[in-house]
């Protein structure tokens, strides 16, 4: 059976002093990997940011905007420090592929006997008051990195399959991956990075961002290799790696959520299905509901640790990229995707 997961990250809200202490700890991690990073190939990516190629994928280095989260050093530290248990569950994805939604669903499924869902009273369930990112922290953020013994049994990562900390593979714990159409990922990513930006002079045009994304040098890129790594793993180890698809989740949430619950070891009982538990969880984790809960600004900017919660809820639609990309851009991304996924059963 799985270890019980705790209420939420105790690090969701921090004071200025705590933030300073955490930055100091992250600085120490950056220092720890300084020599290793200095040997890596480097390229310019978007927003005046250099990215470093590590084990086939690109990452920013050191502190960038909201801290050193997701940096190449953060990946290295997770690789060295994470000790996964066989009962753990890791939710994996390329950025902007449906991570927040998957976090909410997995958390709601796994804690459903502990927390009552009461959409009317708006008070009882953690997902009605805090972000899915506070319920399920990333291993390559300071929530975990400054406190490596912190592990609540349900964690998330953007690290590609081949770079996962060895204990995640060796312990035999479960991994759920969510993939999404690269065109929608790109448009979502572009909005997200420009939204992070306080300084308009460093915002990136769609055209420039497109060149970077399609050539694979955006952070965690190339997206296609990211997806393929987990897809292959899901074929080789189907009992340990579940491969989900954002578009399928939108099309048939009921079926996908039941599958997810089964894979996680928390299948819905007949009674739960008959009494609408699946639909209740889908509604709790719906875009509209989560966006409402994560509206600005409950916590105040001074104390929030990372990106503001609302940034993770833009439109939540399939195919929105058509409203932004030129015909040529669509053709380019479709061609790369077709070639890369050739012979693989990856629906997009
Ligand atoms: P992350 O990698 O930074 O954690 P991630 O959650 O993977 O981000 O992706 C964000 C996308 O998921 C956004 O897509 P959009 O820009 O095309 O709108 C966001 O709106 C969408 N999203 C977030 N929550 C949900 C949800 N509950 N249902 C469907 N889509 C969602």
Marked catalytic residue, from 8, 94, 125, 158? 158
Predicted local distance difference test score (pLDDT) of residue 147: 78
Better-predicted residue by pLDDT, 141 or 122: 141
| Within a domain: 1 | no
| Within a domain: 214 | yes
Alpha-carbon torsion 20, 21, 24, 26, what sign?
negative
Mutation probe of ligand 1 site: the residue of 100, 108, 223, 251 with most atoms within 8 A of C-beta: 100
| Residue 312 Cβ contacting ligand 1 at under 6 Å | yes
| Within a domain: 10 | no
| Residue 313 Cβ contacting ligand 1 at under 6 Å | yes
| Within a domain: 6 | no
Tell me how far the alpha carbon of residue 80 lies from the centroid of ligand 1, in angstroms. Answer: 29
| Within a domain: 133 | yes
User: Is the confidence at residue 171, as pLDDT, over 70?
Assistant: yes
Tell me how far the alpha carbon of residue 192 lies from the centroid of ligand 1, in angstroms. Answer: 10
Q: Which of 284, 231, 234, 282 is closest to 261 using CA atoms?
A: 282
Domain count of the fold of the chain: 1
Tell me how far the alpha carbon of residue 181 lies from the centroid of ligand 1, in angstroms. Answer: 12
Whose alpha carbon is nearest atom 16 of ligand 1? 188
Query: Which of 83-92, 190-199, 311-320 is the least confident region?
Result: 190-199
Task: Reply yes or no on whether 158 is catalytic.
Answer: yes
- Which range has highest mean pLDDT (142-151, 154-163, 198-207)? 154-163
Range of 129's domain?
Answer: 16-340
Average pLDDT over residues 335-342: 96
| Within a domain: 7 | no
Q: pTM score, two decimals?
A: 0.93
User: Dmax of the chain from CA atoms?
Assistant: 58
The percent of residues above 70 in pLDDT, for the chain, comes to 90
Ligand 1 atom nearest to CA at 290: 27
| Within a domain: 191 | yes
Q: What is the DSSP letter of 130?
A: S
Q: Which of 288, 255, 306, 331 is closest to 101 using CA atoms?
A: 288
CATH number assigned to the domain comprising residue 91:
3.40.50.300
| Segments of the chain assigned E as strands | 42-44, 50-54, 57-60, 89-93, 154-157, 174-179, 241-245
Whose alpha carbon is nearest atom 14 of ligand 1? 316
Count CB neighbours of 180 within 10 A: 25
| Residue 181 Cβ contacting ligand 1 at under 6 Å | no
User: Is the confidence at residue 307, as pLDDT, over 90?
Assistant: no
| Residue 95 Cβ contacting ligand 1 at under 6 Å | yes
| Within a domain: 348 | no
User: Is the confidence at residue 10, as pLDDT, over 60?
Assistant: no
- Model confidence band, residue 310 (pLDDT cutoffs 50, 70, 90): confident
Whose alpha carbon is nearest atom 10 of ligand 1? 96
How far apart CA 341 and CA 348 sit, in angstroms, is 10
């Amino acid at each position: 059976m799985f270890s019980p997961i705790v209420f939420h990250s105790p690090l969701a809200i921090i004071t200025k002093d705590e933030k300073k202490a955490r930055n100091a700890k992250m600085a120490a991690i950056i220092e720890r990997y300084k020599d290793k990073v200095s040997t890596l190939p480097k390229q310019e990516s978007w927003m005046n940011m250099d990215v470093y190629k590590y084990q086939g994928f690109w990452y920013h280095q050191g502190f960038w905007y909201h801290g050193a989260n997701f940096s190449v050093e953060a990946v290295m530290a997770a690789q060295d420090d994470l000790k996964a248990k066989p009962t753990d569950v890791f939710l994996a994805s390329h950025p902007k592929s449906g991570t927040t939604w998957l976090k909410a669903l997995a958390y709601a499924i796994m804690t459903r006997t502990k927390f009552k869902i009461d959409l009317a009273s708006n008070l009882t369930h953690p997902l009605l008051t805090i972000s899915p990112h506070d319920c399920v922290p990333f291993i390559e953020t300071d929530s975990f990195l400054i406190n490596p013994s912190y592990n609540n049994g349900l964690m998330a990562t953007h690290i590609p399959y081949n770079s996962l900390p060895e204990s995640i593979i060796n312990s035999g714990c479960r991994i759920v991956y969510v993939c999404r159409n690269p065109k929608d990922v790109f448009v979502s990513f572009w909005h997200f990075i420009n939204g992070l930006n306080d300084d308009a002079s460093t915002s990136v045009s769609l055209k420039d961002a497109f060149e970077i994304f399609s050539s694979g040098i955006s952070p965690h890129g190339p997206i296609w290799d990211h997806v393929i790594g987990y897809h292959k793993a899901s074929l080789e180890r189907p009992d340990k790696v579940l491969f989900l698809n954002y578009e399928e989740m939108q099309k048939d949430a009921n079926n996908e959520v039941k599958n997810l619950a089964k894979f996680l070891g928390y299948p819905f009982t007949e009674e739960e299905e008959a009494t609408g538990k699946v639909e209740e969880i889908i509604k709790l984790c719906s875009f509209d509901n989560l966006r409402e809960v994560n509206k600005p600004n409950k916590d105040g900017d001074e104390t929030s640790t990372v990106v503001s919660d609302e940034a993770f809820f833009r439109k939540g639609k399939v195919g929105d990229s058509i409203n932004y990309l030129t015909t040529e851009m669509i053709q380019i991304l479709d061609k790369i995707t077709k070639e890369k996924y050739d012979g693989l059963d990856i629906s997009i």
